[in-house]
Structure 1
Amino acid sequence: MFISPMLLQTAPRPFSHSDFIYEPKVDGHRLIYSQQAGKVRLYTRHNNDCTRQYPEINGSTSALFPHDITLDGEIACVDPVTGAVDIEAVTSRLNTKRADKIRRLMERLPVTYVVFDILRYKSEDLRKRPLMERKAILASLALPNVHFGVIPYVEGVGEALFAQMQARAMEGVVAKRKDSVYETDRRSAQWQKIINWSYADVYLSGYKKSEFGWLAAVPDNRGKMRPAGVIEYGPSPEHKKAFYNVVKPLVTGEDRDYVYVEPRVCARVKMRNWTRAGMLRSPVFTEFIV
């Protein structure tokens, strides 16, 4: 049974408070694990069934829990060389549908289901119980195999944990109020994410025609500009107006989807990281660079 996952608000900065626990933010994709009558179903946060993509945890190659259960967590892949969580490997696993390819990827890119909440257990809906009660139930469970793990947490010291995540170049921290119930109808301030952003300076080389989006470019190792992604979030209406006024005389061409301009306007963006292909991951505009 699918349960829509609780969504987080974004905190502007790290904070510490005795009413909160703090968890490392895992750089993977959200996954709802549902086991009913000995049958497992796995769902993404948007209710897409991804059961067959993960034999390690779907019961086909592993033991089951002894009772019906619904869990919330993240699917993660860990680079065997660096120990870093690899979001591109997770994406590869999620997008692979053929059984033979899935079997091969299980060997090369095994996944771990990092569990942080329990929503149903033994036919009881736990979502109205306080978070710390749910955590206690979760901690008491025997996990089916080594591909399951439970996220650790600390109490009260969010800034200290965030500093550790920065030092390890991890994605950030999730802050959760200890008495929070599990909400599914809106983003809740009871759960907040604090992202460990990276920053980069890029040149704006064009814009989308049908909806908002600025094309970003960066110099390559020969000094020429190469595409680096699309910036879709961050600028205010004033920023957008200023950009379009400045680039009118800089237009060099267009196609069905984009207008291209000389890359003379420089902007700073915050992002999750660089992809292996050299693209900005989830860039957000912060300011123009003069």
Structure 2
Amino acid sequence: MRAKELQMKMESRLQLDKYKDSLDTVYEIMARLNKYTTEEMLFYSAQLLADLTHSKDVAIYTIVNKTYARLFSATSPEARKLGNSIKYAAIEDVYQELLEGRIYLNTAMDENLPLMAGAVYAEEKIQLILMFWGMPSHTVTSADANRLTVIITLIQNSLLRAKRLMVSFRKQNYLEGSNVLNEEAFTALVKTFLEARDKGLAECTLLEIVLGYEDYEPVSRKLACDIRQTDYMGIIDGRKLYILLTNTDAKNAEVVQTRLQKTGYRSLIKENIL
């Protein structure tokens, strides 16, 4: 009888600890979400997810279309191992689980796949894919999946709001009749990207276009074909034209600089906008 009472007390204590842990998790998530602006959410959610799951290697991919997803933020080089752009539907083991609304667990320990993956949905369609490559125990269980499900439920609205903002950001902030962002919006965007880069959450490079005596408007139209849809053009200091290359380090930015040079314009890599 004594042993049974002791066992019941231990089980009650474990349940209480789990309940307290859940409440602590909810409090931490809400407190940290309140710190970030909408623009910062997609970057810093990767670090938030890493801390809450005790994983050093977390990546957030945003869905571009029915086939491809684009890396937005990652906490380590390991988390970026699939590359800046993935054909997510082709990663069948992961995709099928996410398509069914479940958390993917890499129980086969395939080194080419994340240990765990989840998704954020809107209208039953995948909008973001969250990948976890490193876990403290180097294995994953149903308990990990349940915990991640709760975490995603708590942060999904903030992530979706941030994604929608980034999609509409260009149209709302283009200078009239151009594909150039206004100074206020572009400056804020660049600061957000550079701060995330300095914290190891993103890769980006800022280029200043050497205009000489030309105005930025005709130059921006000429350069539009030399940059990707995921890059941004904007002005700083009134009339100076800049290009923010996302998911691009300084070495890979040299390829873009060469392409711009062939169009007739030199560019300079800028570490900041001060």
User: Per residue, is there more strand in 1 or in 2?
Assistant: 1
Fold match (TM-score > 0.5): no
State the structure with bigger RCO (CA 8 A, min sep 6), 1 or 2.
Answer: 1
Which TM-score tier does this pair reach, normalised by the shorter chain? under 0.3
TM-score by length of 2: 0.24
TM-score by length of 1: 0.23
